[in-house]
Amino acid sequence: MSLVTKLHKKYEEFSLEIDEWEILDRGVTALIGPSGSGKTSILRALLGLESCPGLSWVFTGVDLAQLTTPDRRIGIVFQNYELFPHLTAEQNILFAARARKIPAIQQKEKLNSLAEKLQLNSLLKRSAALLSGGEKQRVALARALIGAPRILFLDEPFSALDEALRDKARALVRQVLEDEKIPALLITHDERDLSALAHKITQIDAGRILAEKLPDKSRIF
């Protein structure tokens, strides 16, 4: 179980007022809402990047809100991927593993596994500055997964891709999440992302949950 309670924070323009919210601990929870509705604020609070007194986030028996940001072990793929352009794809991926103090042998094993699943073997020695949008996304996904995260945050992960690449990218992300058995929180405004990935949809506006629904999915990982 993954239960968020007392997610309350005041901003100049609005307030987050979420008394209780369950994020799936298996499968993909999608968070949708218009610009300014609070999606990014929720993400930052859960990551521990903003103080949120009273917040509790109990994930499989551990209150992540009481831990430091690194100890929460949350992987994240940002909208623009946020790779270090002067490093190679491999160096970008391993940077996260070293930050999490993953033993060197495990780093190599996991890198090889992710490179195979994400079709990165031919890209590992290439500078991140020279990668295409789709290639950057796959590297960012590998970087987020290599540290064995409890949960993966996907912040508009397909919006920077050309339309022709998005369906393939969605299918790849879904398959990797199933293979790795890692739950995810997806922030999106694209209905096609919901159709392809979401097992639960939470709609917010003005910092409040308006509705939640469970799409009909044949399986959940």
Domains and CATH numbers, the chain: 1-73+183-215 (3.40.50.300), 75-149 (no CATH)
Using a 10 angstrom Cβ sphere, with 0-12 exposed, 13-18 middle and 19 or more buried, the burial of residue 141 is buried
User: How many CB atoms are located within 10 Å of the residue 171 CB?
Assistant: 12
* β-strand partners of 15: 10
Please tell me the distance from the alpha carbon of residue 94 to that of residue 169, in angstroms, as a whole number.
Answer: 22
User: How many CB atoms are located within 10 Å of the residue 175 CB?
Assistant: 13
For 138, the token pair is 């796959």
Phi-psi region of 53 (alpha: psi -120 to 50; beta: other; left: phi over 0): beta
Largest pairwise CA distance in the chain: 48
> How does pLDDT run along the chain (221 residues), one tens digit per residue?
799 999 999 998 889 999 999 999 999 999 999 988 999 999 999 999 999 999 999 999 999 999 999 999 999 999 889 999 999 999 999 999 998 889 999 999 999 999 999 999 999 999 999 999 999 999 999 999 999 999 999 999 998 888 888 999 999 999 999 999 999 999 998 889 999 999 999 999 999 999 999 886 545 65
Q: What is the pTM of this model?
A: 0.92
